Amino acid sequence: MLLRKKILFLQGLLVMSIGAALLGSCGDIRPQTPGGKELPDRPTFPEDHMPILGKETNGQTELSNFAISYLDIPVSGNDEPFVVVQLPTLHHDTLANELLYKYQLLSGTLISQWAKKHTGVVLDLSTTKEGLQKTDFRLAINDAAFPLVLIWDKAAADRADIYANVIKKLPGIVVSEEVITPPSLFEILPADKDKRPMLQNALPETRF
């Protein structure tokens, strides 16, 4: 039962990353209907958006408690888009777990859809940045795949072991451990969540 909860928790983190990326890609304004009738300005969501993720309350979303960035990372000579989720404390684990219980029934479907986008996910557990380490995983589901990078420091070593073990046992997903991102990744990790490029500006149709 405990292992199942941990697996669901990892799925929740991936769902959170997906929701963050989709919310971050919203921004265009559509003032008219297709027929030309004028409407109040409102955001135009991508066709595959999940409106239930990140419910807005008083200008804040459920994702506001997390530092989430969008970063191009060199992979095999090309810059590829990644979503970076910073989880430096046990408190962030708890917050992510709360999101999980709201969306766990959708997690398998959303992860499958995410894999088709070939956009990577970075889970950064580090706090002090002392003794940074990483492990790269490739997650494959339904003939599509995307990379997941787990980053930790000395202070987060115990948490990293738990995350790594759960990642390898995600149900319905083929997980392989291989080197995908360069050692220089640590040097380009975002330090300020307010200074982040939008995901829609990343290279289109990239493949891992």
Nearest to 71 by CA among 192, 194, 197, 207: 197
SS3 at position 77: coil
Reported as a pLDDT band with limits 50, 70 and 90, residue 37 is very low
CB 27 within 8 A of CB 46: no
3-state SS, residue 145: strand
Burial 74-90 (b: 16+ CB within 10 A, else e): ebeeeebbbbbbbbbee
Helix (H) or strand (E) holding 72: strand 67-75
Q: From CA 37, how far away is CA 82, in angstroms rounded? A: 38
Classify 54 in phi/psi space as left (phi over 0), alpha (psi -120 to 50) or beta: left
pLDDT at 24: 40
Q: Using one digit for the tens of pLDDT, what is the confidence trace for 158-201?
A: 888 888 887 887 777 788 999 999 999 999 887 644 444 444 44
pLDDT of residue 57: 35
Is the full-model pTM beyond 0.75?
no
Q: What percent of the chain has pLDDT over 70?
A: 53
Do residues 43 and 50 touch, judged by C-beta distance below 8 A? Answer: no
Place of tokens 């891992």: 208
Q: Could you report the per-residue pLDDT of 98-118, keeping only the tens digit for each?
A: 766 666 666 677 777 778 887
